[in-house]
């Protein structure tokens, strides 16, 4: 079995604003996995961070409307 050297985590959220308008917020990251690190643990941490970034992006997008 080969060792995982890098993982990529992404999250996209599309919010319907009504009146046929949407806002789409994307967040993503690539992480190098060091020997001995657990890729699943890194993925979980990155996924939680992506969700926070999406929330932040939605808040900022509201200010633009």
Does residue 30 fall inside a structural domain? yes
Does residue 1 fall inside a structural domain? no
Query: What's phi and psi for 62, nearest 5 deg?
Result: -60, -35
User: What does the alpha-carbon distance between residue 22 and residue 53 come to, in Å, rounded to a whole number?
Assistant: 18
Does residue 22 fall inside a structural domain? yes
Q: Is the pTM of this model over 0.75?
A: no
8, 11, 33, 62 from 39: Cα distances, Å: 10, 17, 7, 34
- Nearest CA-CA partner of 54 in 35, 29, 18, 27: 27
- Nearest CA-CA partner of 54 in 19, 15, 22: 15
Does residue 58 fall inside a structural domain? yes
pLDDT digits (tens, 9 = 90+) for 22-60: 889 999 999 999 999 999 999 999 999 999 999 998 888
């Amino acid at each position: 079995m080969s060792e995982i050297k890098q993982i990529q985590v992404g999250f996209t959220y599309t919010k319907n604003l009504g009146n046929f308008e949407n806002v789409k917020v994307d967040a993503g990251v690539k992480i190098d996995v060091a020997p001995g690190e657990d890729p699943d643990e890194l993925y979980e941490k990155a996924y939680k961070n992506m969700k926070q970034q999406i929330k932040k992006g939605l808040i900022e997008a509201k200010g633009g409307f």
